[in-house]
Amino acid sequence: MKTLIKGGRILDPATGHDAIGDLWIQDGKIESITPPGAKAPQTKDHVISAAGLAVAPGLVDMHVHLREPGAEYKETIASGTRAAAAGGITSVACMPNTDPPIDNLAMVELVLSKAKYQGVVNVYPVACVTRGREGKVLTEMGELKAAGVVAVSDDGDPVSSPALMRCALQYAGMLDLLMINHAEDKGLSGKGVAHAGFQSMLLGLSGIPRSALEVMIARDLILAEETGSRIHVPHVSTEGGVRMIREAKARGVLVTAETAPHYLVLTDDSLQGYDTNVRVNPPLAEQKDQEALLAGLRDGTIDAIATDHAPHSRREKEMEFALAAPGICGLETSLSLILTALVETKILTLLQAVQCMSFNPARILKIPKGTLKPGADADVVVFNPQAERVIRASAFLSQADNTPFDGWKVKGEVVMTLVGGRSVFENNEHTKAIHPA
Amino acid sequence: MRERGEILGLKRKDLLTLQELGAEEILHILDTAASFKEVVQRPIKKVPALRGKTVVNLFFEPSTRTRTSFELAAKRLSADVVNFTAGSSSLVKGESLLDTVRNIEAMNVHTIIMRHSCSGAVHLVARHCRVGVVNAGDGTHAHPTQGLLDLFTIREVKKSFAGLTVTLVGDITHSRVARSNIHGLLALGAKVRVVGPATLIPKSIAQLGVEIHYRLEEAIAGADVINILRIQLERQDGQYFPSAREYAHLYGVNARRLKLAKPDVLIMHPGPMNRGIEISPRVADGPNSVILNQVTNGVAVRMAVLYLLSGGESDENPD
């Protein structure tokens, strides 16, 4: 038995394919892409009608907080992977700032085992650079890599010692393990809770200057260049960050970078009213930063769009702004926000957007995802890029029911998500349309 | 003291900032405060305007003078006043701010006067509560009644704001008093200068139309009003300026420097003063000082705010 996704606009950034066609799936793998109607299905085949819909490789989100173990009241591997599936995301890299942190083999195995039995999408653990995320002793990266870890990062606690970072880059580089370092100099950001600018001044919120982020990016780029190791800069949010990464790439430094949807659609203007749903780290910056990020996406300086999905319970958001937990949920809004703000506006083509959200992050993580080439795992998202919908936090599959985008009218609706050829999410409103009698 | 309906209440539930008020509303509050100032100079300093209403002083940050000033204002309007301070509350038990406030609201109070060390905490409470909230200082954001009493004190002497140059001296970055003064003064047409160490003046404040200075002498030259902010030595940790001694040397307002300002310059300070640091004793006690007038006016201004926010409803109460 085969599955046929019939008559959709098939996008494969790995090959540049963007045309109407039929996608054939067998035994959990992509079998082929054929011209529309070229090959008739057998009666036993499962046919999904994708007329008017886009068919793309399942999205790969390389920056997700699943919160398990330790903060299961915010999110679990079960709820987080279901939220991912609802957002068209079929692979997530999960961050190690759990409690206890993912810094040893047992923790990696725990996450992988929970993902296998309770999750619905592929989960790729990111492990700590240092034990306990304390910035002192390296983790056993050799063993962690063998267990399935795709990258190392101390997440919100950047490796502050330059000497240790230099060694970590050399060691991870030797193992061909990706280094991700949260770019923030904590000495400079201090007690800051918002981008240091006109808005934070008006609101009396302690500012985080650009230099707090950019000093760390500069240091990491210099160390990556010297060691010849790969460095990935997560959630780039400022103009200076984009500029430095562009220059480093031109010099041949092995750097890759991601930004998050919220930096592309919000600025620090949204701080007015002290909405804690826009409290995020790094903080939302200014118009000129947003423009630089968009330019960076267009010219390839920024490789990937990742959500930095950071779910928090209502209790941690209905608080004084400075005391509220920083973080925005992204899994269920990312695709729509990018389609609305970047594709509709022709900043990126649909194929480029899909590339930044699937093929590129898969390439950075060196995982065999983000493509519809024959033989690849049948991780597929079927979505309607034109459908209008209203974002409702209350309808999230994520345990978190807060987002700055609640009530936003956006374009783009996920119709169906498949992982290894198996449906893991189906939008009920479309069931009739895609399963013709 | 006045006929029913003569004064219209403010068309708002809360007073959180001066930024949200227009010139007209600010002047309306100042005019109302002027009538209340007349009341508090009578032998019997009390009117029945808020009789039967309960006002809660909800202070999450220590304060003596502002709390007392609000308490006197409410009592002189015949309201019942309850003081609630963080130390005596359930806050130490980990209750959230909203839960604390919802409990107080459930006791059917009319107005919450709130001070909190987090900027925007009053906005959170105002958004989630039906009762009126008066901001008595939120973090480094706003202190609207201080701004209003400063405006009142200036207007009492100078009559109008057009053409006035007002200089704010000190730590602008961390000052809610500065922000409230700036919004109010600009709305009423005054020219505002700020002066202090570069480490304590946010450059983006120029976008509001404020002049930035780093030399005190330049900033007070020809000034009509000098409002000297308290340097919070306890907040400094040697990063913003090297010592109180150097601060006094560069930014202390003394009699010699005062000669650069207009002869009839007003000297203001929101208190408590560090005599000998940001202000010399001779200046604090000198003929140009209106520092104690500010304190007196504070009660009248707060009476006006409480009265106008309540919309004068109690006048309709026959008893």
For B118, the 3-state DSSP assignment is coil
Handedness of CA B234, B236, B238, B243 (dihedral sign): negative
Which residues, numbered 200 to 219 in chain B, qualify as contacts with chain A under a Cβ-Cβ cut-off of 8 Å? 202, 204-205, 207
pLDDT of residue A428: 81
Which residue ranges form the domains of chain A, and what is each CATH number? Answer: 2-55+377-434 (2.30.40.10), 56-365 (3.20.20.140)
Does the structure show a pLDDT above 90 at A53?
Answer: yes
Confidence band, pLDDT 50/70/90 cuts, at residue A194: very high
Selecting among A308, A377, A379, A401, the annotated active-site residue is A308
Q: Which CATH superfamily is domain B6-143+296-309 in?
A: Aspartate/ornithine carbamoyltransferase (3.40.50.1370)
**Does domain B144-291 correspond to CATH entry 1.10.1840.10?**
no
pLDDT of residue A185: 97
pLDDT of residue A436: 67
Does A308 participate in catalysis according to the annotation? Answer: yes
CB-based contacts of A113: which residues, under 8 Å, 6+ apart? Answer: none
Does the structure show a pLDDT above 50 at A421?
Answer: yes
Residue B44, judged by CB atoms within 10 A of its CB (0-12, 13-18, 19+), counts as exposed
The residue type found at B121 is A
For chain B, give every domain's residue range. 6-143+296-309, 144-291
Rounded to the nearest 10 degrees, the angle between the axes of helix B176-187 and helix B144-158 is 50
In chain A, % of residues over pLDDT 90: 97
Chains A, B: CB pairs < 8 Å:
59
Does the structure show a pLDDT above 80 at B316?
Answer: no
Confidence band, pLDDT 50/70/90 cuts, at residue A433: confident
pLDDT of residue A162: 97
What confidence tens digit (pLDDT) does each residue in A247-265 have?
999 999 999 999 999 999 9
pTM, two decimal places: 0.94
What confidence tens digit (pLDDT) does each residue in B234-259 have?
766 668 999 999 999 999 999 999 99
Distance CA A183, CA B128 (A): 36
Which residues in chain B are closer than 8 Å to A315, comparing Cβ atoms? 96
Q: What is the mean pLDDT of residues A229-250?
A: 98
ipTM of the complex: 0.91
Nearest CA to CA, how far is A276 from chain B (Å)?
Answer: 10
Q: SS3 string of A207-257?
A: EECHHHHHHHHHHHHHHHHHHCCCEEECCCCCHHHHHHHHHHHHHCCCEEE
Alpha carbon distances (Å) from B58 to A62, A226, B83, B137:
46, 57, 6, 11
Does the structure show a pLDDT above 50 at B314?
Answer: no
Residue A322 near chain B (CB below 8 Å): yes
pLDDT of residue B93: 63
CB-based contacts of B238: which residues, under 8 Å, 6+ apart? Answer: none
Whether the CB-CB separation of A425 and A434 falls below 8 Å is answered with no
What confidence tens digit (pLDDT) does each residue in B58-114 have?
999 888 899 999 999 999 999 999 998 876 555 556 788 999 999 999 999 999 999
If you average pLDDT over every residue of chain A, what do you get?
A: 97
Which residues in chain B are closer than 8 Å to A206, comparing Cβ atoms? 140
pLDDT of residue B315: 45
What confidence tens digit (pLDDT) does each residue in B143-154 have?
999 999 999 999
What confidence tens digit (pLDDT) does each residue in A103-116 have?
999 999 999 999 99
pLDDT of residue B8: 63
If you average pLDDT over every residue of chain B, what do you get?
A: 91
Does the structure show a pLDDT above 80 at A432?
Answer: no
Rounded to the nearest 10 degrees, the angle between the axes of helix B65-76 and helix B23-40 is 80
Nearest-Cα residue of chain B relative to residue A273: B123
Residue A249 CB neighbour total at 10 angstroms: 18
Confidence band, pLDDT 50/70/90 cuts, at residue A7: very high
B6-143+296-309 and B144-291 share one fold: yes
Does the structure show a pLDDT above 60 at B5?
Answer: no
Contact A321 B207 (CB under 8 A): no
Q: Which of B98, B179, B207 sits opposite A204 (nearest CB)?
A: B179
Residue A236 CB neighbour total at 10 angstroms: 27
Tally the C-alpha atoms within 13 A of residue B287's C-alpha that lie toward its C-beta: 3
Does the structure show a pLDDT above 60 at B160?
Answer: yes
**Among B123, B182, B210, the residue to mutate for chain A (most A Cβ within 10 A):** B123
Contact A204 B142 (CB under 8 A): yes
Contact B118 A198 (CB under 8 A): no
What is the DSSP code string of A7-41? EEEEEETTTTEEEEEEEEEETTEEEEEE-TTSSPP
Q: Which of A257, A262, A254 has its CA nearest to residue A302?
A: A257
Nearest-Cα residue of chain A relative to residue B200: A201
Contact A204 B138 (CB under 8 A): yes
Q: Name the DSSP letter for residue A341.
A: I
